[in-house]
């Protein structure tokens, strides 16, 4: 007889079935519900990432008919995922059976998940799997909501084993008093899951095949059914925009806490918004009202001043940006770079110690170490059809209110006079002045005012 220790020691193969075929009509959106984003990533992608980190060996994503957009997102998040179509929506058990061929392969563990529950942690999925490795036939995820109305109740024996899942409308008054509710997610013994699911009937008011009925099938064969409880916010299912906002708030709370525990200072945490993949180094300071879009890495000792927006940007060590700075995708800032107020950087490499301090746009450019870019400078990188690159050398100085018309190169140590429109390359250590010659006409202004006053009086 196999002992519990031996069961745990043996490697177990896991199939995760993610149900993503719901229409999500309550979202009132042309976008499928599971593609709505939380912390910069779709709910579907959140779930796929969590099951991967929980050790799933294979993933099947069940989508609705014609939902190529959902299938594409699934493949982007999990390239090896099998995409299966639920042609008719006849209940959750029916949806799981869209993965019949995968279930027939005999995985040890089968996780059944919903693509609209983006907050469930990998550790919770792993806990469900542990119950199976301990010998349970099914492990059900439960929670205790403040208001259990509408949720199926989890009925247990004195030892905490799950006896049944009773739908709200079918529960007795005593059963309705039970606080533990069904979150919908579960793990099943992979060797028996297909048989249990295939025998679920639809003798109910909705004439649908319900996944919770698998518990009845399992217990009918003497299989143990275990219960794992999770915090209510972790199993939140998103059905409308209000619940989407609740999910966003919860994941932001987690991300802020992780950032601070990781060594970053958030001056006003509740005003800072992260993406799922934001990386902050140690001793980073983030001032109030900062937004991190996807793809941002901030090196040690850097300071992000208030009201800055970053997306797709990499900051090295001891960088300072803002306030009111915008870093767009492709912004790469080396050590000790200074990006000031109302500066926008896009697809540009800024060398070590360079300064871009005021009211400036740098796009499609390379700026050398220690270069100084004055206020109001613009790299003119687009002619309406194509983008062109500007290259500014080390220690160069670009005077205020200058326009650099790409493609153009400014050599190391070169100066560009304020107000210049530079259309040709400037060699190293040269001075370039490209503006009209100033003309001064003494007394012209007084004569002009006298003339215009007479014309106005005549009218």
**Quick check: helix, strand or coil at residue 217?**
helix
**Is residue 64 assigned to a domain?**
yes
**Is residue 273 assigned to a domain?**
yes
For residues 43 and 104, membership in a common domain is answered with yes
Is residue 168 flagged as an active site residue? no
Using CA atoms, how far apart are residues 299 and 268, in angstroms rounded to an integer?
20
pLDDT at 167 (0 to 100):
84
For residues 335 and 383, membership in a common domain is answered with yes
Closest CA to 32 of 58, 62, 12: 62
Question: Which of 203, 235, 267 finishes a domain?
Answer: 235
Phi, psi of 26, deg, nearest 5: -70, -15
Question: Which of 214, 235, 256 finishes a domain?
Answer: 235
Which of 148-157, 159-168, 251-260 has maximum average pLDDT? 251-260
| pLDDT at residue 170 tops 90 | no
Which of 24-33, 219-228, 255-264 has maximum average pLDDT? 255-264
pLDDT bucket at 284, cuts 50 / 70 / 90? very high
409-442 pLDDT per residue, tens: 999 999 999 999 999 999 999 999 999 888 999 9
pLDDT bucket at 192, cuts 50 / 70 / 90? very high
The continuous run of DSSP H or E covering 226 comes out as strand 225-229
For residues 46 and 119, membership in a common domain is answered with yes
Residues 141 and 128: beta-carbon distance below 8 Å: yes
For residues 178 and 270, membership in a common domain is answered with no
pLDDT at 397 (0 to 100):
98
**Is residue 450 assigned to a domain?**
no
pLDDT at 181 (0 to 100):
95
CATH number at residue 336: 2.160.10.10
The count of residues in the chain is 459
Using CA atoms, how far apart are residues 165 and 182, in angstroms rounded to an integer?
7
Q: How many domains does the chain have?
A: 2
CATH number at residue 26: 3.90.550.10
For residues 170 and 32, membership in a common domain is answered with yes
Look up the pTM and report it: 0.90
Question: Which of 235, 251, 283 finishes a domain?
Answer: 235
For residues 418 and 284, membership in a common domain is answered with yes
* CA Rg value for the chain: 31
Mean pLDDT across the stretch 358-381?
Answer: 98
pLDDT at 1 (0 to 100):
47
Cβ-based burial of 331 (10 A; exposed 0-12, middle 13-18, buried ≥19)? buried
Instruction: Spot the catalytic one: 36, 94, 289, 358.
Output: 358
**Is residue 163 assigned to a domain?**
yes
| pLDDT at residue 357 tops 60 | yes
Using CA atoms, how far apart are residues 32 and 18, in angstroms rounded to an integer?
15
For residues 294 and 347, membership in a common domain is answered with yes
38-85 pLDDT per residue, tens: 999 999 999 999 999 999 999 999 999 999 999 999 999 999 999 999
Q: Which domain holds residue 405?
A: 241-432
| pLDDT at residue 144 tops 70 | yes
Residues 155 and 219: beta-carbon distance below 8 Å: no
């Amino acid at each position: 007889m196999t002992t519990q220790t031996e069961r745990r020691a043996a490697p177990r193969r896991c199939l995760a079935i993610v149900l993503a075929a719901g229409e999500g009509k309550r979202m009132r959106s042309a976008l499928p519900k599971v593609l709505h984003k939380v912390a910069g990533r779709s709910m579907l992608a959140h779930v796929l990432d969590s099951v991967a980190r929980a050790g799933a060996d294979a993933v099947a994503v069940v989508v609705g008919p014609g939902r190529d957009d959902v299938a594409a997102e699934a493949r982007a998040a999990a390239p090896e995922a099998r995409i299966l179509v639920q042609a008719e929506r006849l209940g959750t058990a029916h949806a799981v059976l869209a993965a019949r061929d995968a279930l027939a392969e005999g995985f040890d563990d089968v996780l059944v998940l919903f693509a609209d529950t983006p907050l469930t942690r990998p550790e919770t999925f792993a806990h469900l799997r542990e119950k199976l490795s301990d010998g349970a036939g099914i492990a059900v995820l439960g929670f205790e909501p403040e208001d259990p109305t509408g949720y199926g109740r989890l009925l247990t024996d004195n030892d905490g084993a799950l006896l049944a899942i009773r739908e709200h409308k079918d529960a007795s008054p005593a059963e309705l008093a039970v606080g533990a509710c069904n979150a919908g997610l579960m793990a099943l013994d992979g060797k028996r899951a297909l048989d249990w699911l295939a025998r679920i009937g639809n003798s109910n008011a909705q004439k649908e095949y319900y996944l919770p009925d698998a518990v009845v099938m399992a217990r009918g064969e003497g299989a143990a059914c275990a219960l794992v409880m999770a915090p209510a916010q972790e199993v939140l299912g998103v059905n409308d925009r209000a619940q989407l906002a609740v999910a966003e708030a919860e994941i932001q709370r987690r991300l802020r806490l992780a950032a601070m525990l990781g060594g970053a200072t958030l001056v006003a945490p509740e005003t800072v918004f992260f993406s799922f993949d934001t990386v902050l180094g140690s001793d980073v300071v983030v001032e109030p009202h900062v937004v991190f879009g996807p793809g941002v890495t901030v090196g040690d000792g850097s300071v992000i001043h208030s009201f800055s927006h970053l997306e797709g940007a990499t900051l090295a060590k001891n960088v300072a940006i803002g306030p009111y700075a915008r870093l767009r995708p492709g912004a790469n800032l080396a050590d000790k770079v200074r990006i000031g107020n109302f500066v926008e950087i896009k697809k540009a490499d800024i060398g070590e110690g360079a300064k871009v301090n005021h009211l400036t746009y740098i796009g499609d450019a390379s700026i050398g170490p220690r270069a100084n870019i004055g206020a109001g400078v613009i790299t003119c990188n687009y002619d309406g059809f194509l983008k062109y690159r500007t290259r500014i050398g080390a220690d160069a100085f670009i005077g205020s209110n200058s326009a650099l018309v790409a493609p153009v190169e400014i050599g190391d140590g070169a100066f560009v006079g304020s107000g210049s429109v530079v259309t040709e390359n400037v060699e190293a250590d040269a001075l370039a002045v490209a503006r009209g010659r100033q003309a001064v006409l003494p007394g012209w202004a007084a004569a002009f005012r006298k003339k215009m006053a007479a014309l106005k009086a005549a009218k």
